[in-house]
Amino acid sequence: MQSRLFTLDFSAFGGDYTVPAPSYFVLLLIGFLFATVMGCLWAKRVGQDPDVIVDLGLAMLLAGVAGGRLLHVFADGYFWDYVHLCTDPSKVDWHVTRSECLSTYDGVWNAVDGVCRPKQTDCLAWAKFYGGGFAYYGGFIGASVAAWFLLKADRFPFWKGADMAGMVVPVGLAFGRMGCTLAGCCFGTRWDSSWALSFPGHSPASEAQWKDKLLEQPSEPSLPVHPTQLYESAASLAIAAFLTLYLHSRKKYDGQIFIAFMALYAGARFLIEFFRDDDRGGLLGLSTSQLIGVVLIGVGVYLHLRLSKGAAPPAAPPVAPVAA
């Protein structure tokens, strides 16, 4: 696990200012660049303006980061922590060791409750996306809305553009989940298998298992867990391969590839969620992502029925000439 790939040092410009580069965010940017380059190549191939794809990619990145961060804040179970960080830090509990509290977290140790608490208010903690904390479906919804407005404004065929996104976005997702593996987030439930992953001490998995009294200290390596991040990377790559190598040449109408991506990913994510063990909010025994996935599958069915009605029927095979 390596939650930070490198640190940007701006001391050469005056002052002592550094910015860590979280693994998840770096891999997410790599996935974004890949998707944008592939989108530009696709646009040239079909006779469209690749500059529109560049603008589209930037708009989707910004809207996706904003949407992913907002859904994390509101639906992943941390909403009141962000509220209390701004209004009353004494209500925020960080379940870490005393030494970590005083060093890494720079907090105040409460010996009575055995928890660490922030020293001061931070009303902008919810906006600090560079430290991690995203929900994919929030990013998906935000990016989709931005794409709809931008493509309409540029008079770009929306469903053709959506089909392009359906082929490249799952590859970007695969990169993002590799970043999750490095960061140690989105970890799975306990699993005693040679295929399981064990994360180092102070990882999200170790801290969660320590809070559940499965470990004596959060500094211990985690017990083996399902590699749910890799499950999703593999599923995303499989979806991309199916859509690009099979469905692309057989689609009946514009939008079919995007709808298939939406439904296939939602189905795969629904199943993988049962093996995840990180805090992410939920309702009625289902996680937030599972509930959104059910809605998206329903939307996919509706769009398929609507768009397929206007699809042109397949051309009749040519009739062989009759010998004289």
Q: Are residues 145 and 279 in the same domain?
A: yes
What CA–CA distance (Å, rounded) separates 181 from 227?
Answer: 8
Q: Are residues 34 and 138 in the same domain?
A: yes
Residue 108 has pLDDT above 80, yes or no: yes
205 within some domain: no
Residue 43 has pLDDT above 60, yes or no: yes
Spatial neighbors of 323 by CB under 8 A, at least 6 apart, are: none
Q: What is the CA radius of gyration of the chain?
A: 23
- The whole-number pLDDT of residue 96 equals 73
Q: Are residues 81 and 184 in the same domain?
A: no
246 within some domain: yes
Lowest mean pLDDT among 10-14, 27-31, 241-245, 256-260: 10-14
- The whole-number pLDDT of residue 231 equals 96
198 within some domain: no
The whole domain housing 110 covers 77-130
- The whole-number pLDDT of residue 1 equals 60
Dig out the tokens for 268 from the structure.
Answer: 């795969």
Spatial neighbors of 34 by CB under 8 A, at least 6 apart, are: 168, 171, 172, 175
Dig out the tokens for 32 from the structure.
Answer: 């974004």
Q: Are residues 166 and 304 in the same domain?
A: yes
Q: Are residues 107 and 154 in the same domain?
A: no
Q: Is the pTM of this model over 0.75?
A: yes
Q: How many CB atoms lie within 10 A of CB 316?
A: 6
What CA–CA distance (Å, rounded) separates 155 from 193?
Answer: 53
Alpha carbon separation from 96 to 22, 99, 109, 161 (Å, rounded): 21, 8, 10, 47
Q: How many CB atoms lie within 10 A of CB 145?
A: 15
What CA–CA distance (Å, rounded) separates 209 from 45?
Answer: 51
Percentage of the chain lying above the pLDDT 90 cut: 28
113 within some domain: yes
Q: Are residues 32 and 121 in the same domain?
A: no
Q: Are residues 279 and 158 in the same domain?
A: yes
- The whole-number pLDDT of residue 12 equals 65
Q: Which of residues 113, 130, 147 is at a domain's end?
A: 130
- The whole-number pLDDT of residue 94 equals 80
Q: Which of residues 106, 130, 154 is at a domain's end?
A: 130
Q: Are residues 174 and 61 in the same domain?
A: yes
Q: Are residues 51 and 66 in the same domain?
A: yes
pLDDT tens-digit series, residues 70-107: 888 887 777 888 898 889 888 888 877 787 788 777 78
pLDDT tens-digit series, residues 120-178: 888 888 887 766 677 888 888 898 899 889 888 888 888 888 898 899 889 988 988 88
Q: Are residues 300 and 254 in the same domain?
A: yes
Dig out the tokens for 82 from the structure.
Answer: 């962000």
Q: Are residues 143 and 58 in the same domain?
A: yes
Q: Which of residues 130, 151, 166 is at a domain's end?
A: 130
Q: Residue 267: which pLDDT band, with cuts at 50, 70 and 90?
A: very high
217 within some domain: no
What CA–CA distance (Å, rounded) separates 252 from 254?
Answer: 7
178 within some domain: yes
Q: Are residues 139 and 172 in the same domain?
A: yes
pLDDT tens-digit series, residues 1-32: 666 666 666 666 666 666 666 777 788 888 88
Percentage of the chain lying above the pLDDT 70 cut: 87
- The whole-number pLDDT of residue 324 equals 45
Alpha carbon separation from 136 to 12, 13, 142 (Å, rounded): 36, 35, 10
- Please give the mean pLDDT across all residues of the chain: 84
308 in Cβ contact with 252 (< 8 Å): yes
Domains in the chain, number:
2
323 within some domain: no
Lowest mean pLDDT among 155-164, 184-193, 241-250, 290-299: 155-164
- The whole-number pLDDT of residue 244 equals 92
17 within some domain: no
